[in-house]
Amino acid sequence: MKKLYFLLPFVLLGCKTNPSISEKTSKEISKSTEIAYKVNETEVSDFLKYLSSDELEGRETGTKGIEKAAVFLEDFFRKNNVKPYFSSYRDTLTNFKSAASNIVGVLEGTDPVLKKEFIVLSAHYDHIGLEKKKQADVIFNGANDDASGVTAVAQMAKYFSETKSNKRSILFVFFAGEEKGLLGSKSLVQKLKKQDFNLYTQLNIEMIGVPMKRDYLAYVTGFDKSNMAQKINEYTGKKTIGFLPKEAEYELFYRSDNYSFYDVFKKPCQSISTFDFENFDFYHHVSDEFKVMDIPHMTLFIQEFLPAVTKITTSPTQEIRMNK
């Protein structure tokens, strides 16, 4: 997650009170989508362990460490039959001083009409690199931020590749340059806009490595900007998404790669997270490492979201809409 300069020890004025998730929850649960596919916990663990390993030296954009991560992600797409969206998986950033690339793959939809519409599933694979001060541990491994989100998106790509259950096309994006100011998403979205990219919605996964102690699994940034939270809960048949007051207070909607897409397309583009400012003490800290990640929680998170992302790709009409 882009550095939270705005995290101040006081409560900002003007944040909204907790809105209701939905008054139709009981009816919506009956519409939930059933998924037989099971996410493999060992695969989740192995993927995250490498992406957050010391070998990648904190994955700072423009370094040898993030280059190793890029090769790893390209290989993952290749092995899982996810095709490059451009001429290769590399999408070179147009706004960074040295060579840097988003990694972009696509699975074409199976419906001759709906495949013209795109879902974007994304996360940023860069982090902040190495600590310049001399100390015992100098590597910002970024396990939670955001190797956890990348792991979730990768497992969703594997699921759709194997099941062929997406009627709409899906763009899978691993952004570079997020920690530098959302550079990867800002660069990519301009290219897509020039192509008249037919975007339906974007789900950006950000910091899902540890669970919250709440009665819902995750929250969505910009809760009241669309009906995404309500529709995800309808699709999963659970209280998967809740309202986190801190999210509104700190305006997290504007602090991750979803905002670059919303800013250009004005479609429902939001981030999903389980980092609630109480459950993780190592934000932008060298202790954000694999060993403090909750793998069963991450596996559960991915599993619970599969019905939602499946329904988003298959619904006859675009049911997720911006609120007026």
Q: Write the pLDDT tens digit of every residue in 212-222.
A: 999 999 999 99
Question: Is the residue at 306 inside a domain?
Answer: yes
Tokens of 1: 């997650």
Question: Is the residue at 203 inside a domain?
Answer: yes
Q: Which helix (H) or strand (E) holds 190?
A: helix 183-194
Question: Is the residue at 113 inside a domain?
Answer: yes
Specify the 3-state DSSP secondary structure of 198.
coil
Q: Which residues of 88-104 are buried (b: 16+ CB within 10 A; e: fewer)?
A: ebbbebeebeeebbbbb
- Write out the residue range of the structural domain in which residue 62 sits: 38-213+247-314
Examine the pLDDT at 161 and tell me if it is beyond 90. Answer: yes
Q: Tell me what pLDDT residue 20 has.
A: 43
Are 200 and 117 a contacting pair, CB within 8 Å? yes
Model confidence pLDDT, tens digit, residues 231-258: 999 999 999 999 999 999 999 999 999 9
Examine the pLDDT at 31 and tell me if it is beyond 70. Answer: no
Question: Is the residue at 296 inside a domain?
Answer: yes
What is the band of 290 on the pLDDT scale with cuts at 50, 70, 90? very high
Q: What is the mean pLDDT of residues 35-58?
A: 98
Q: How far apart are CA 36 and CA 240, in angstroms?
A: 18
What is the band of 44 on the pLDDT scale with cuts at 50, 70, 90? very high
Kindly give, in sequence order, each residue whose CB lies less than 8 Å from that of residue 211, ignoring residues fewer than 6 positions away: 217, 274, 279, 294, 297
Question: Is the residue at 52 inside a domain?
Answer: yes
Question: Is the residue at 145 inside a domain?
Answer: yes
Mean of all residue pLDDT scores within the chain: 92
Count of structural domains, the chain: 1
Q: Tell me what pLDDT residue 4 has.
A: 61
What is the band of 2 on the pLDDT scale with cuts at 50, 70, 90? low
CATH number at residue 167: 3.40.630.10
pTM above 0.85, yes or no: yes
